[in-house]
Structure 1
Amino acid sequence: MQQGLKVGDKLPLFGAKDQAGNDFYIASVLEKKVLVIYFYPKDDTPGCTKQACFFRDQYEEFKDLGAEVIGISGDSVAAHKKFAHKYDLPFTLLSDNDKSIRKLFGVPTNFLGLIPGRVTYIVDKKGIVNMIYDSMDAESHFPKVVEAVKKLI
C-alpha cells in the first residue's frame, strides 16, 4: 500500500478536467500561491455541500491572502458543473474519475473502503505540503484550514 504525501513532501504535478471541461494543470498555480487542495467524497451530499459552501464563503478571504482553493472528487465534469452552479462555487473543482490523483496523494478510503476519504492539504509557495488534515467530519476542517493558510502568508 502506498504511503501517500506527508508534511514536508513536495507536491507532485498532476492535471485533470475542471468543472467547465477545461484541462487544469497544478503547475499553473504551484509555487505562485498557497494552495488549499481538498479531496471530498461526492458532489451534493450534506457534508460535501457544507464543506464546499464554507470554501465559497471564505473564498474572497483566501484570494485576498494569495491562496487558491481546489476541490477534487471522483465525480464527472458534468456533476461538478451542476454542483458548482447550484451553490455558486467560485473555485476549481477537478474530476478525478479514475482516482489517479487520489492515489498520487495517497488519500485513504473510509468505511470498509466504500467511501472516498475527506482530506485537506495546505501547500506553501515553495510547493511543500505544510499541513494534512484527514477527517470525515467536514466541519472540523474549517478552522484548521483558515489558520494554516494565515500562517503561511
Structure 2
Amino acid sequence: MSGSNTAEQRGKVQVGDLAPDFTLPDQTGRQVSLHDFIGKSVVVLYFYPKDNTPGCTAEAVCFRDSYVVFKQAGAEVIGISSDSTESHEQFANQHRLPFILLSDRGAAVRKRYGVPTTFGLLPGRVTYIIDKRGVVRHIFSSQFNPEKHVEEALNIVRTLQDEEGAGASQAPAGQA
C-alpha cells in the first residue's frame, strides 16, 4: 500500500476525496451505481435515518419540492437509508418523490462513507455533494435540521454549475 490517505484507510469520506463507488437497489429493485452518474451530473447523495419518520419525510419532501431546480442545475438527488426497497417504494409513492432512494440494508455504504450515528444508535443524516469528476466537494451534517440539507445542497450545486460554466470558457486545456 502506498502512503496515500484515502477515505477507505481513514474510514470517513472528506471533502476532496474521490467518492467511494457503490451499487445498491433502488425503490424499484433496479441496481444503481454511483459511477453511472460520474461525468454526467453532480450527485447530491444524502443519507437519512428512516422512511416515514417526521424529519426524514420533511427532508424528502423538501428535496422533492426543489427537484426540478436541482435537475436544471445539472444535479441528481439520491437518498440512502437502511430501509428495504419495499419501504422505499411505499415512501416514494406516498410522497411523490421523483428521485432515487437506495436500500443500504447492511449499512455497508453508510459505514464506508463514515456517516456517524447520533447518540450511538440513530443513523446519521449527512449530505455529500459529489462533482461530475466524482470528487466530494461539500459535506453537510445536521441530524435535527433536515430542511437545511436541501438549502446547503442547492447552494453548492449552483456554485458548481457557475464554476463549470466559467471553467468551460476560461480554463486552459488540461486544467481541472
Give the TM-score taking structure 2 as reference length.
Answer: 0.84
Q: Percent identity?
A: 49
CA distance in 2, matches of 1:102, 1:96: 7
Describe the superposition over 1:100-147 as per-residue Cα deviations: whole angstroms up to 9, x where unpaired.
110111101111x21000000001111100000011021222321110
CA distance in 1, matches of 2:40, 2:112: 21
Q: Aligned residue for 2:91?
A: 83
- Per-residue deviation, 1:31: 2.5
What is the identity, as a one-letter code, of the residue corresponding to 2:104?
D
Matched-pair contact (CA < 8 Å) for 2:11–2:112: no
> Which has the higher Rg, Structure 1 or Structure 2?
2
CA distance in 2, matches of 1:142, 1:21: 26
Aligned residue among 85, 90, 100 for 1:92 = 100
Aligned residue among 121, 124, 143 for 1:114 = 121
Secondary structure (helix, strand or coil) at the match of 1:6 reads: coil
- Per-residue deviation, 1:2: 4.9
Q: Aligned residue for 1:39?
A: 47
In the TM superposition, what are the counterparts of 1:58-73 in structure 2 within 5 Å?
58-73=66-81
Question: Aligned residue pairs: how many?
Answer: 152
What is the identity, as a one-letter code, of the residue corresponding to 2:130?
V
Secondary structure (helix, strand or coil) at the match of 2:102 reads: strand
What is the identity, as a one-letter code, of the residue corresponding to 1:121?
Y
Structure 2 residue 155 is the aligned partner of structure 1 residue 147: yes
Q: Aligned residue for 2:135?
A: 128
Moved over 4 A (4+): none
Matched-pair contact (CA < 8 Å) for 2:44–2:129: yes
What is the identity, as a one-letter code, of the residue corresponding to 2:52?
D
CA distance in 2, matches of 1:18, 1:92: 6
CA distance in 2, matches of 1:75, 1:122: 22
- Which fold has the larger relative contact order, with Cα–Cα distance below 8 Å and residues 6 or more apart in sequence? 1
What is the identity, as a one-letter code, of the residue corresponding to 1:116?
P
Q: Which moved more, 1:64-73 or 1:24-33?
A: 24-33
CA distance in 2, matches of 1:6, 1:40: 18
5+ residue gaps, structure 1, are none
Q: Aligned residue for 1:138?
A: 146
CA distance in 2, matches of 1:5, 1:32: 22
Structure 2 residue 44 is the aligned partner of structure 1 residue 28: no
What is the identity, as a one-letter code, of the residue corresponding to 2:13?
L
